Chain A
Amino acid sequence: MANSIEAEKRAGWALVSPPFLYTLLALAVPFIVIVGLSFAGLEGGRARVPLAPGDAEKLYFTFENFARVLSEPIYRVVLLRSLIIAVCVTLATVLMAYPIAYFVSFYVAPSKKALWIFLITIPFWTSYIIRLALWRTILGYNGIFDNFVGIFGIEPMNLLSNGALAITITLSHAFAPFAVLPIFVALEKVDRSLLEAGQDLGETRWTTFLRVTLPLSMPGVMAAVLIVFIPVVGDYVTAKLMGGSTTPMIANLVEVEMLKKRDHAMGSAVAVTAMATVAVISILFVLLNRRFIGSKK
């Protein structure tokens, strides 16, 4: 028997090794390089990958990259803007996704639920770039939105000129399906007799929702928040196409440092700062949730 267990172990390793190798090369190695670069200084120049021949001995450890990220206002302003946009997008997405998930879970016949979930994924069928172009058409000066409000005698608003708003609208639309799915799954797991019990014990439908359904679906809401918030902070293409040059987000700054200024050390420091900020916020969010909503697992 020991033999077959050994064989099974080997088979297990064989199964996981390709994705493991891939993860190591595509995630862990670049991550270590970026973190390393963010703490790197080079005598008489800037640390970069690959290093010029003979530069290796001129490398030194430093906090100066981070000192610049924290002291120069541009980085703070842009990081704060990214966070605010991400919070707005997350709020809008989750608030819109919850009723949709609730409707599909509670009001759609069981045999039709899969179809509804499938329909919710339809936005993914179109390339994101095309969707961005469409939003530009909708939100731009004299675009579809302006024409629509024009019917009521409202002057063209040119929402596209407000970069942060345009970015928020576009991202909220793009991430909605990601938020619907985890909330839907959490709602599906709520035992329906609990809702009857709530009403039996004197609560109305609405107060039963607040005391029973909502707390029980919080794990799904938390998952949705994290799934939307984390990638939105680091979004690059939306800000580039919807925000123009006036409202960059943090990823756009990383691009400027990395590709335009060719300053890999500064680019890495900005990226690591953003990553650390997101990590801290996410962990705080999860902890606060445990503390106050208390999903007693």
Chain B
Amino acid sequence: MTFSADKPTMIEFKDVHKYYGDYHALRGINGTIKAGEFFSLLGPSGCGKTTLLRTIAGFEDISSGVVMIDGKSMADVPANVRPTNMVFQSYAIFPHMSVEENVGFGLRRDPRSKAEKAKAVDEALEMVGLKGYGKRAAHALSGGQRQRVALARALILKPKVLLLDEPLSALDKKMREHMQVELIKLQRQVGITFILVTHDQEEALVMSDRIAVMFEGEIAQLADPETLYRRPNSKKVADFIGTMNFIPCTILSESGDKVEVDAKGLGKVALDIHQAPPAKGETPVVGLRPETLTLLYPGQSANDRETDGVIDEVIYFGDMTYYDVYLGGTDVEVRLSMRNVPGRPVLDVGTKVRVAWSPEALVLFR
């Protein structure tokens, strides 16, 4: 998961803006993507993530700012000569060509001999697990196979950057999870910079070295998956990535590297400054992930802090059970998740419980 910062920069955005008429699609994008990185652009639909990807590919002109690829400005560089290749959301497999014609499409100007090109096509097909499929008609392929053809077609050109526009969204859940792992392996194998656009936060967490979370044409947070999940820098990011309980609080004091708050239902807590990202001018709340809260069964005691509660709702998932619990006689409801293991019965609605939690898991938004 850790990403070494010393790798060279592959892509750099400098204050990139994009307007469609009056609509401000990209509002000052800054940031860098390192060589060999698996990078994700994550956000809800309409946040500008696909537009940003398309500015890298050269399908969208930017209104102002600079997009650099491998140290060169891409202004006035058309899509067909950029060192990028794309796997389209629809895969864009040419329906009038066979699999090998599709994969070899970009080799037309390649000076190699016909036999060498054919060998390259075979190797590319083998790399994506489609050995022997070359002669098949493109329209006879399944969704997963089409995607592999699209991957082979892009990777055979050895681009500096591979762009993936929601490549897994059309696949069913099993196939999607399978392809996630395959894509990660493939990326390690070829060492090319991958940039993935997705609206699926789980997919982004699983696959990426780093993630840029985008809302309304801006990058809200750019960080590695663990930081994004554990230390989101805003309520919005926290809410988009996974589930988070938000508990109203008042800030009692702030001094140096400590912030003391009084959270409703939890009581007074002292937080480290790292748990309090820069203020956004919002009503203060503390955030807690469901898995950082634990139900205490009779005889168990908390390592850290403990609060009384009443179970309001039970959602059974097989391996997990989610409980919605009112905290400490207040109207503050939190969701917590418990792994279902032997000797730990699923509790009923209305049961009075004790909830254990750790101040270190809290994040303060204000």
- The residues of A with any CB-CB pair to B shorter than 8 Å are 191, 193-194, 196-204, 211-212, 215-216, 294-296
Contacts and interface: CB of A to CB of B under 8 A. Distances in A.
The main secondary structure of chain A at its interface with chain B is helix
| 9 A-B pairs with least C-beta separation | A201-B106, A197-B92, A193-B92, A199-B79, A199-B80, A200-B86, A193-B88, A202-B106, A215-B96
Contacts of A197: 86, 88, 92, 94
A216 B85 contact: no
Interface residues of B, number: 28
Contact of B80 (A193, A200, A295): A200
Most chain B beta carbons < 10 A, residue from A196, A197, A200: A200
Given A193-B90, A196-B86, 12 more contacts: A194-B92, A194-B95, A196-B57, A198-B105, A199-B58, A199-B59, A199-B78, A199-B80, A211-B105, A296-B97, A296-B137, A296-B139
A201 B137 contact: no
Most chain A beta carbons < 10 A, residue from B58, B78, B94: B94
Interface in B59-79: 59, 78-79
A203 to B, nearest CB: 6
Given A199-B80, A201-B106, A202-B109, A216 B96 contact: yes
Nearest to A208: B80
Contacts of B89: 193
Interface in B74-128: 78-81, 84-86, 88-90, 92, 94-98, 105-106, 108-109
Contacts of A199: 58-59, 78-80
B34 interface: no
A204 B137 contact: no
Nearest to A203: B80
B153 interface: yes
A40 B154 CA distance: 67
Interface in B171-214: none
B94 A200 contact: no
B124 to A, nearest CB: 13
Interface string B22-63: 000000000000000000000000000000000001110000
B347 interface: no
A201 B85 contact: yes
B157 interface: yes
Most chain B beta carbons < 10 A, residue from A203, A215, A296: A296
B108 A203 contact: yes
Contact of A201 (B78, B95, B139, B153): B153
A295 B94 CA distance: 11
A196 B137 contact: no
18 contacts: A194-B94, A197-B94, A198-B105, A199-B79, A200-B80, A201-B85, A201-B106, A201-B153, A201-B154, A201-B157, A202-B106, A202-B108, A202-B157, A211-B105, A212-B94, A294-B96, A296-B95, A296-B137
B92 A191 contact: yes
Most chain B beta carbons < 10 A, residue from A202, A216, A295: A202
Given A196-B79, A200-B80, A296-B137, A216 B95 contact: yes
Nearest to B138: A296
B96 A201 contact: no
Contacts of A215: 96
B117 to A, nearest CB: 14
Contacts of B80: 199-204
A196 B106 contact: no
Contact of A191 (B57, B81, B90, B108): B90
B298 to A, nearest CB: 60
Contacts of B94: 194, 197, 212
B88 A196 contact: yes
A202 B95 CA distance: 18
A201 B105 contact: yes
Nearest to B159: A200
Nearest to B80: A199
Contact of A200 (B57, B97, B98, B137): B57
A111 to B, nearest CB: 16
A202 B96 contact: no
Contacts of B108: 202-203, 211
A204 B81 CA distance: 9
